[in-house]
Every structure is written in C-alpha cells, then in structure tokens.
Amino acid sequence: MPEGAVLREPTECDIVAFMAHPDDAELQCGGTLALAVARGSRAAVVDFSRGELATRGTPEDRDREAEAAALELGLSCRINLGLPDGRIEGSHDTRKEVVRLLRLLRPKVVIAPALRDHHPDHMAVARVVDESFYLGGIGKYLPELEPWRPNTLLHTMGTRPGIPSLVVDISEVYETRKRAIACYKSQFHSDDSCEPQTRISHPEFNDWVEGGLRHFGFFIGASYGEGFTSPMPVPVSDPVHQYSVVPWKNLREES
Ligand SMILES: [Zn+2]
C-alpha cells in the first residue's frame, strides 16, 4: 500500500466506528479514533451511505472529503456501504453485511451512533450494529466466516442530552480532529459558498462542536473529551490508579 493510502477493502483493525454518513465519524468520535492511532492501534470507519441527501455538496465531493479526513485521522481503512441516505434500516441484509465486516475487521472496540438521536439514519445504524454485535459471535450465522465478537460496543452521545458512561480525554489530538472535520469543505461554513445554509454550515457550528467537547472534558478535568455510553459496566482493574489523577489540577497524588 502506498504511504498515506487508506484501504477501501476491509483490513484487520483494533477499533472501528460504524456511522450513517461521511463526516459523522469525525464529528462524533474523531478524537477517539485519532487517539487510538496515536497510541499505535489501527482504526477504521464504515460509512453506511454516501450522504446523497445532503443539502450541500455532491456524493463525489463527500467521497473525496471522507478520504482526506481518513488520512488526517490516520485510518487504516474506510469503507462505504453505499446504502440509501435517509432510508437506512435494520434489514437482514444490512445485519449480514455488518457481521461480515466485523469478522473481517476483527476489532476489539466498536463505536456506533447514539440509540436516541435527531436523525433516523443514525438511530437505524445504532440498532443494526447493536444486533450484529451479538450475531457476529454465532458460528452458524454466516458460517463461511470465522465468528468474531468484539470486546465492547460504545455509543456516541448524539444530539439528545444524556449522561456518558465514560469520557475519552482527546486533548492531545484535538487539532487533528479539527483538521479532519475541516476536510468536509462542502458541508461547513465558507464565505464564498452560495449553497443553502444548514445546521452544520452555520458560522457558529465549530464553536458548538468545541463547546460539546469542552463540556465532556470538564467532567474528567481534561481540555477536551468525547463522551460515550456503554450498555455494559466499564471494567476498571485498578481503581486507585484510575482515580489517582486529580481532575482540574493535572497532578498525580503523591503516594
Ligand atoms: Zn449523519
């Protein structure tokens, strides 16, 4: 693979985000993916649709922007399922495709959208990934591929208020996350664009995104944080070590 290339074919990875539209991964968990890459893990994104219903930009624009953003985040692979934007549903075929990808990508950590969100596609992806997560481990389901059940499934916080089960400190990759989002030029505010304004092309959208990351960062004493919910309790092997970092002081207590 040429240096800097992002594979469009499944390749083994450690963490994968399944999202409805190109730019969802960057906006919802781009920091967590970039942080995983910075720590030496392999990260991937699966976009369900090409975002052809978007008010601004074309699917071709979105393809190019998604590729550029993948390079910024350092993804090993980014796959687009080409399902119809606005009509994503949890059919048997869709679950089979997600199970197929889980078994080819073999991630330890899976990220899906919030189960409650403003966009029906986001909720549909959240549900279908939830269902496929379990099916992936059943040997007689799609028996031609070796079963694989990842260790955990996390949901992003979406646009409905909720309390996160965990917050990832993404402060050190915040600038990378911002650059990845900026790759979606067709979607965000630009003084020279004549396209209609949308929620995400509002001139203050970036401030709102930053505000959300600041909000979750505040919970854990970090500059920026990405929150997630987990349907299962989050395992902690050493609570004393885990809670030895004093929030807001960035100090480790002397023992
Ligand atoms: Zn979306």
Percent of the chain with pLDDT over 70: 90
Q: What's the structural domain count of the chain?
A: 1
Question: Looking at residue 8, what is its pLDDT?
Answer: 87
Q: What is the pLDDT of residue 205?
A: 84
Report the pLDDT value the prediction gives residue 4, as an integer from 0 to 100: 59
Q: What is the largest CA-CA distance in the chain?
A: 60
Structural domain contains residue 239: yes
In 236-251, which positions are buried (b, 16+ CB within 10 angstroms) versus exposed (e)?
Answer: eeeeeeeeeeeeeeee
**In a domain? residue 7:** no
In a domain? residue 101: yes
Cα distances from 36 to residues 6, 15, 126, 215, 253, in angstroms, run: 16, 8, 21, 21, 26
What's the rounded Cα separation, in Å, for the pair 43 and 39?
11
Return d(Cα 16, Cα 107) in angstroms, integer. 6
How far is Cα 55 from Cα 169, in angstroms, rounded to an integer?
A: 33
215 exposure class (CB count in 10 Å sphere: 0-12, 13-18, 19+) = middle
Determine if residue 190 is left, alpha or beta; phi over 0 gives left, psi from -120 to 50 gives alpha, anything else beta. Answer: beta
Domain assignment present for residue 2? The answer is no
CB atoms inside a 10 Å sphere around CB 226? 27
CB 90 within 8 A of CB 128: yes
Rounded to the nearest angstrom, the distance between the alpha carbon of 210 and the centre of ligand 1 is: 18
Q: Does residue 3 lie within any of the structural domains?
A: no
254 pLDDT band, cuts 50/70/90, is very low
Tell me which DSSP letter residue 7 carries: B
pLDDT tier, 160 (very low <50, low <70, confident <90, very high otherwise): very high
Segment 34-92, tens digit of pLDDT: 999 999 999 999 999 998 887 777 888 888 999 999 999 999 999 999 999 999 998 99
Which CATH number fits the domain that encloses residue 87? Answer: 3.40.50.10320
Question: How far does the centroid of ligand 1 lie from the alpha carbon of residue 20, in Å?
Answer: 5
More confidently predicted of 1 and 23: 23
For residue 1, tell me if it sits in a domain: no
| 62's tokens | 């979105």
Residue 203, in any domain of the structure: yes
Say how many Å lie between the CA of residue 116 and the centre of ligand 1. 13
What pTM was computed for the model? 0.91
In this prediction, residue 252 carries a pLDDT of 46
In sequence order, the 6+-apart residues with CB closer than 8 A to the CB of 6 are: 67, 70, 71, 75, 76, 77, 78
Q: How far is the CA of 148 from the centre of ligand 1 (A)?
A: 27
For residue 149, the CA-to-ligand 1 centroid distance in Å is 26
Q: Are strands 251-252 and 15-19 parallel, antiparallel or unpaired?
A: unpaired
Mean pLDDT, all residues of the chain: 90
Distance from the alpha carbon of residue 247 to the mean position of ligand 1, in angstroms: 33
- Model confidence at 193: pLDDT above 80: no
Residues 206-248 have pLDDT tens digits of 899 999 999 999 999 899 999 999 988 999 999 998 888 767 6
How crowded is the C-beta side of 180, counted as CA atoms within 13 Å? 28
Instruction: Work out whether strand 245-246 and strand 166-169 pair parallel, antiparallel, or are unpaired.
Output: unpaired
- Average pLDDT estimate for 151-166: 95
5: in domain: no
Domain that holds residue 65: 15-252
